[in-house]
Amino acid sequence: MRKEGEEIMELKHDPVPGYRTVFYIVLTIASLYLAVILVRTV
C-alpha cells in the first residue's frame, strides 16, 4: 500500500514516430486476410 503523501511512480517514454501507422497497416492486412479466408470457406 501507498503511504499518505507518497507520490506514485510512473514509467513513461516518448512515442516513436511511425509505429502507429505500421500498426494500422498490419491490422488492416490481417483483417483482409481473415476476411478472404472467411469468404472462401463459406
Residues 5-32: pLDDT tens digits? 788 888 888 888 899 999 999 999 999 9
Q: How confident is the model at residue 35 (pLDDT cuts 50, 70, 90)?
A: very high
- Calculate the CA 32 to chain-centre distance: 18
Say which residues have a Cβ less than 8 Å from residue 8's Cβ, sequence separation at least 6: 2
Q: Nearest to residue 31, comparing CAs of 19, 23, 21? A: 23
- Tell whether the model's pLDDT for residue 39 goes beyond 90: yes
Q: From CA 11, how far away is CA 30, in angstroms rounded?
A: 31
Domain boundaries, the chain: 16-42
Q: What pLDDT is stored for residue 13 in this prediction?
A: 85
